[in-house]
């Protein structure tokens, strides 16, 4: 397995998906999902053009950060407990997985202490699966409106994990829903939020996600191989 070749393959597919829907490949950022991946392999990915990594466990990410540091930008993409927020603010550039008001308020509290503004995405449960974290689409607009009032939080957009279905075409409605939700929210609270980011699409479905407007895709397996 060659990480360099895998990255080239993903980039090629991103470019093709962009061409199909009239977007520029520069509009889609590839986040390499590095959970369970060894530091050496992460460094190899960075040496081959990866600039941002996504981790879903705070402790694991923090350990890797001790070695890798600012050679990459770090995104938190997994469910975050409020007692880990302080740690996350020490290394993460974007928290993609804000899935409750409780968590948002804790991020605000800690960010204010640090006199920083923290960039976040609001996670939406577009699949309706009970096991998935995220705001329900029906309550998302109100939640974003509330979070947008927190002075030390900058809402950059929305994130979702699509339904776990074998055919990516079946996941398309989840991605479409996220894009439409973004438009609804932008109209409703014009001015106070940017909402330019749509983080959606993983190894099995990122091409469809790009067709539906993804600006960030989170890809693990296609770059590093199966996590076993
Ligand atoms: C693991 C994970 C991914 C990457 O999944 P792959 O199928 O390996 O590409 C993306 N997003 C989140 C939130 C994840 O936990």
pLDDT in tens, the chain (228 residues): 799 999 999 999 999 999 999 999 999 999 999 999 999 999 999 999 999 999 999 999 999 999 999 999 999 999 999 999 999 999 999 999 999 999 999 999 999 999 999 999 999 999 998 888 999 999 999 999 999 999 999 999 999 999 999 999 999 999 999 999 999 999 888 777 789 999 999 999 999 999 999 999 999 999 999 987
The string over 128-154, giving b where at least 16 C-beta atoms fall within 10 Å of a residue's C-beta and e elsewhere, is: eeeebbbbebeebbebbeebbebebbb
Give the pLDDT score at 131.
Answer: 85
Q: Which residues surround ligand 1 with Cβ inside 6 Å?
A: 33, 35, 56, 77-78, 161, 202-204, 218-222
pTM recorded for the entire structure: 0.97
Q: How many CB atoms lie within 10 A of CB 69?
A: 10
Give the pLDDT score at 172.
Answer: 98
Ligand 1 centre from 166 Cα, in Å?
Answer: 15
Q: Which two tokens stand for residue 98?
A: 């804000």
Give the pLDDT score at 225.
Answer: 96
Query: Which ligand 1 atom sits closest to the C-alpha of 159?
Result: 13
Cα distance between residue 56 and residue 45, in whole Å: 18
Ligand 1 centre from 54 Cα, in Å?
Answer: 9
Ligand 1 centre from 113 Cα, in Å?
Answer: 32
Ligand 1 centre from 201 Cα, in Å?
Answer: 8
Give the pLDDT score at 156.
Answer: 96
Residue 204, helix vs strand vs coil = coil
Residue 95, helix vs strand vs coil = strand
Q: Which two tokens stand for residue 168?
A: 């990516």
CA distances (Å), origin 79, targets 52, 115, 132, 208: 19, 24, 9, 24
Helix (H) or strand (E) holding 163: none
Cα distance between residue 113 and residue 110, in whole Å: 5
Helix (H) or strand (E) holding 21: none
Give the pLDDT score at 98.
Answer: 98
């Amino acid at each position: 397995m060659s990480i360099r070749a895998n990255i080239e393959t993903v980039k090629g597919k991103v470019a093709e998906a962009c061409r199909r829907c009239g977007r520029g490949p520069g509009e889609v950022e590839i986040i390499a999902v590095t959970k369970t991946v060894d530091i050496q392999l992460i460094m190899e990915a960075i040496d081959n053009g990866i600039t941002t990594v996504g981790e879903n466990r705070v402790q694991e990410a923090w350990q890797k950060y001790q070695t890798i540091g600012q050679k990459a930008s770090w995104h938190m993409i997994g469910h975050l407990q409020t007692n880990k927020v302080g740690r996350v603010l020490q290394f993460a550039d974007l928290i993609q997985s804000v899935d409750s008001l409780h968590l948002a308020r804790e991020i605000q509290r800690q960010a204010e202490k640090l006199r920083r503004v923290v960039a976040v995405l609001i996670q939406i449960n577009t699949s309706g699966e009970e096991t998935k974290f995220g705001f329900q689409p029906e309550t998302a607009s109100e939640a974003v409106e509330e979070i947008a009032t927190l002075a030390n939080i900058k809402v950059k957009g929305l994130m979702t994990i699509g339904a776990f279905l074998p055919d990516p075409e079946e996941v398309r409605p989840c991605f479409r829903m996220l894009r439409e939700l973004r438009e609804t929210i932008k109209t409703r609270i014009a001015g106070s939020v940017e909402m330019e980011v749509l983080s959606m699409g993983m190894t099995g479905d990122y091409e469809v996600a790009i067709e539906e407007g993804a600006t960030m895709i989170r890809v693990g397996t296609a770059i590093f191989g199966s996590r076993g």
